[in-house]
Amino acid sequence: MGVRERTLDVLDLSVGRLLRAGYLKKWSVLGALIGVVAGLGAVAFVYSIRFCSWLFLDVIGGYVPPSSVGEGNSLGSAFARPWAVPLAVGLGGLISGVLVVRFAPEAEGHGTDAAIESVHHNPRGMRVRASIVKIVASAVTIGSGGSAGREGPTAQISAGFASMLARRLDLTPTDARIAVAAGIGSGIGAIFRAPLGGAVLGAEILYRDDLEAEAIFPTFVASVTGFSIFAAFEGFAPIFGYLQPGHFDRLQQLPFYAVIGVAAGLAGILYTTTFYKAVDRFRRLRLPAWLKPAVAGVAVGLMGLVIPGVLGTGYGWLQRAMTQEGLESMALWMILALPIAKILSTSLTIGSGGSGGIFGPGMVIGGFVGASIWMLVSGLSGVPASPAPYVVVGMTACFGSVAHAPLAMILMVAEMTGTLELVLPAMVAIGLATLIVGDRSIYEHQLKDRKASPGHRFRSAMPLLASVPVTTSMERATLTIDAGLSAEEARLALSAVDAHEAPVVDGRTAYVGALTLEALEGSEAAHVRALADTTAPSVPRDATLEDAVEGLATTRFSQVPVLDDHRQILGIVTATQAIDGYRLALQSNLRGVGIAPAGTTLVEATVAEDSRLVGRTLLQARLPTGTVVMAILRDDSLLVPGSSDRVEAGDDLMMLVPEGRGGEVRTIVGGSGDAE
C-alpha cells in the first residue's frame, strides 16, 4: 500500500471516529469548519461589493452612496453624472444575468430561500459552483446599485460549503440538514455582526411556526466562529454603531411602538405580495433570462435618481435616519415614499432574476416605516428625541414578521445597537407585526412546522425507525458501476439487471455517488464519473433506519448505500427494506408491550384498481374506527400519509388495525377480494 493510500485510510478512520463521536464533540468540529468558511466568505463578499461599487457607481456613475458606522460611516456624495447611474445599474444587472444563466441557474434570486429549500429537500445537493457564482453575481448586482441585501449570498456561500462537507464526509441526511442550517445562520450572523441572532436564525428561519432545535448548538458554534473571523477584518463594533441609552424608560412609550408594529406588519404584507407578483411577471416576460436583470436595473437606476436610498443595500441611509439631523435633512415626502420605493426596487432587482438578498431591503423598508412614524409624532409626549429607536424597532419588526423569525430578530436588535434597552419595545412591535402578517412569508420554501418537513414526518409518524440498526435492514448491492466506465457501458450494465439506478464506485471501490438512466440519456461523456450525482444520500454502518428513510424521503433516489469507514459499500436500503425493517420492529415492539395479541394487529395490503380508496384521501376512505395507516409504499418511494394525500391503485399500505377487523380492512383495500 502506497503513502497516498495509507494517508487516505488514516483520514477515513479519523473522519469516521469524529462522526461517531457525541453530539457536542462532533458539532464543535463541524460547526467550526462551517463557521470558518462563513467568515472568510463574508469577508471576500464584502470586499467584492466594495470593488464593484467603486467601479460601477463611483467610476462610471459618479456617485458614492452613504455607508453605516460599521462600514466607514461615509456621508456619500451627490450625483456627478446622473445620466450614467441607470446605465451602471443596468450594466451590473446584465453581467449578473449572464453569469447566473451561463454558469449556475440556481444562484438566481435570493440565496437564503435556496438554502432553506436545500435543508428540506436535498441538503447534500448545493453545488460549490453556485456559491462562487453567487458571490460574483451578487457583488456585481449590489455594487452596481441594484436593490438587494448581502445576507442571502453569504448564507448561500456557507450553506453551499456545508452541503459539500456533507457530501465529502458522507453525513447522514439528518446531520446534512443540520449542517446546511448552520451554514445559513453563520453566514447571516457574520455579515450582520450578530452571532447570537444568526445562530437562532439558522434554526428559526426554516419554519413559519416552529424551530429546528437540533440545529441550535451547531449554528451557535458556526455563527460565533464566522463572526470572529469576519470581525477580525472588519471590526467588532455593531453595524449601526452603539445606541446611546435613555431612549426607552417609560411604559407609556409602548403604544407608539405598537403603532410601529402594525405599520411594519402592513409594510411586510405589501413587500411579500409585491415581490412575488414581480417574480411571476418576470417569469412570463418574453425576454431572454439574462436580459431581464438588465432591464430591471435600468428602471432601478432611474428610481435612484429620485430616491437614492433604493440603490444598493441602503444601510447608509438607515444610518442617516438614526439621527435627528440626518433624518430632518431629508425631505418628508422622500422619507414617506422610501419604504414603497424600496419594495418596488427590490422586487425589480431580485424578481427579474438578479442575484442578492431580500433580508437587508426588508430592514430598510421597516426602518423607514419607523422613521416616518417618528417624523409624524415627534414632539408628542413620550416620543424620544432621537429617531434611532423607532428606526431600529421598525426594521426588525418588518423583516422579523415576514421571515417568521421574531426571536432571532429581537436578539439582533441588541447586537446591532449594542444595548438591551430596546428588547421590550421590539417584542411588542414584532409580535403585532407577526400577528398581522399571518401565514404569509417572504421565503416561499419555508415550511409551516417540522411535521411538514419530509424528514421529520417519518420521525413523528414512525418513531421506531430510530431503534432499528440500518445494517439489519440492508441488502447486498446487486450492481455497482465503476466510475471509469463509459456512458454506453453503464447503460448496458443497468439494462442487464433491469435497474433504474446504481451506486458508482471508484478504483478503490469507494462510493462516489449514484447514476440514473436519466443522467445517461443523450450524454456524450466519456466516463461515468462525470455523470455520477455526488449529492445522492448515503449512511454510515452505525446509522439507524431513520437516517436511511430520511434520505429516501428528501431526495429523488430510491436507494441509500450503507458505507464503512473507508466509504466502501456494505449494502443498500430501499423503501421495501425500510418497510420490512419497520414492520418487524413494530411487531416486536407491540408484542413486547402486549398490545398486538389483545388490541391491535399489523396489516399490509395492496390497493386494488376497484378499491373504493382509489382517488380518495384517507379522511374520505372511512376505514374502520381505530385503523391507522402508518406508511405507504408507492413506486419504490416511502411516504408518510397526510390527511390530504390521495390513495392510488398499487399502493402498499401498512396499517395498525383493531383486533378482528383485519379481514374487513383487507376487503376495502383489495376491492373485490375475500375477507379473512
Q: SS3 string of 494-538?
A: HHHCCCCEEEEECCCCEEEEEEEHHHHCCCCCCCHHHCCECCCCC
pLDDT band at 674 (very low <50, low <70, confident <90, very high): very low
Cell triple for 340: 414603497
Mean pLDDT, rounded, for 410-432: 85
Nearest to 204 by CA among 185, 186, 231, 191: 185
Cell triple for 416: 446591532
Q: Considering the domain 597-670, what is its CATH architecture?
A: 2-Layer Sandwich (3.30)
pLDDT band at 673 (very low <50, low <70, confident <90, very high): very low
**The predicted structure's pLDDT at residue 6:** 52
**The predicted structure's pLDDT at residue 624:** 82
Long-range contacts of 320-325 (CB under 8 A, 24+ apart): 320/66, 320/75, 321/367, 321/368, 321/371, 321/387, 321/391, 322/240, 322/386, 322/387, 322/388, 322/391, 322/392, 323/386, 323/387, 323/388, 324/385, 324/386, 324/387
pLDDT digits (tens, 9 = 90+) for 58-99: 999 999 999 888 787 888 888 899 999 999 999 999 999 999
7-238+248-437 fold: Clc chloride channel (1.10.3080)
Gap between the Cα atoms of 436 and 665, Å rounded? 46
**The predicted structure's pLDDT at residue 675:** 38
**Which is more confident, 413 or 54?**
54
Mean pLDDT, rounded, for 234-253: 77
Would you call 256 helix, strand, or coil by DSSP?
A: helix
**Which is more confident, 368 or 675?**
368
Cell triple for 80: 456627478
Distance linking the first and last C-alpha atoms of the chain: 62
Gap between the Cα atoms of 665 and 539, Å rounded? 36
Mean pLDDT, rounded, for 294-309: 94
**Which is more confident, 653 or 16?**
653
pLDDT digits (tens, 9 = 90+) for 144-190: 999 998 888 888 888 989 998 888 888 888 888 999 999 999 999 99
Gap between the Cα atoms of 532 and 528, Å rounded? 6
pLDDT digits (tens, 9 = 90+) for 466-482: 778 888 888 888 888 88
Mean pLDDT, rounded, for 124-129: 82
Long-range contacts of 329-337 (CB under 8 A, 24+ apart): 332/375, 334/307, 334/309, 335/368, 335/371, 335/372, 335/375, 336/372, 336/375, 337/307
Amino acid type, 121: H
Mean pLDDT, rounded, for 225-252: 82
Q: SS3 string of 46-82?
A: HHHHHHHHHHHHHHHCCCCCCCCHHHCCCCCCCCCCC
How many Cβ atoms sit within 10 Å of the Cβ of residue 211? 18
Q: Which of 52-61, 135-144, 661-670 has the lowest mean pLDDT?
A: 661-670
| Length of the chain (residues) | 676
CATH superfamily membership of 454-578 = CBS-domain (3.10.580.10)
Residue entry with cell 466568505:
41
**The predicted structure's pLDDT at residue 541:** 85
Half-sphere exposure of 311 (CA within 13 A, CB side): 31
Alpha helices in 403-474 (DSSP H): 406-417, 423-437, 454-461
**The predicted structure's pLDDT at residue 593:** 42
**The predicted structure's pLDDT at residue 467:** 73
Is the dihedral angle over the CA atoms 345, 351, 357, 361 positive or is it negative?
Answer: positive
Cell triple for 675: 375477507
Beta bridge partners of 510: 568
Q: Percentage of the chain with pLDDT > 70?
A: 89
Question: Are residues 575 and 637 in contact, defined by beta-carbon separation less than 8 angstroms?
Answer: yes
Q: What is the DSSP string of 323-370?
A: SHHHHHTS-HHHHHHHHHHHHHHHHHHHHTT-B-BSHHHHHHHHHHHH
Amino acid type, 663: G
Mean pLDDT of the residues in the chain: 84
Beta bridge partners of 540: 563
How many Cβ atoms sit within 10 Å of the Cβ of residue 616? 13
Q: Is the pLDDT score of 649 beyond 50?
A: yes
Phi, psi of 207, rounded to the nearest 5 degrees: -135, 155
CA 387 to chain centre: 34
**Which is more confident, 300 or 501?**
300
**Which is more confident, 88 or 412?**
88
Residue entry with cell 453595524:
239
Q: SS3 string of 153-180?
A: HHHHHHHHHHHHHHHHCCCCHHHHHHHH
**The predicted structure's pLDDT at residue 525:** 60
Mean pLDDT, rounded, for 317-342: 92
Burial class of residue 329 in the structure, from the number of CB atoms within 10 Å of its CB (0-12 exposed, 13-18 middle, 19+ buried) = exposed
**Which is more confident, 49 or 526?**
49
**The predicted structure's pLDDT at residue 588:** 62
Gap between the Cα atoms of 234 and 39, Å rounded? 11
Q: Percentage of the chain with pLDDT > 90?
A: 36
**The predicted structure's pLDDT at residue 508:** 62
Q: Spell out the domain ranges in the chain.
A: 7-238+248-437, 454-578, 597-670
Q: Is the pLDDT score of 216 beyond 70?
A: yes
CA separation (Å) from 435 to 398, 400, 429, 469, 665? Answer: 12, 11, 10, 44, 44
**The predicted structure's pLDDT at residue 643:** 59
pLDDT digits (tens, 9 = 90+) for 568-625: 889 998 877 777 777 777 666 554 444 443 466 777 788 888 888 888 887 777 788 7
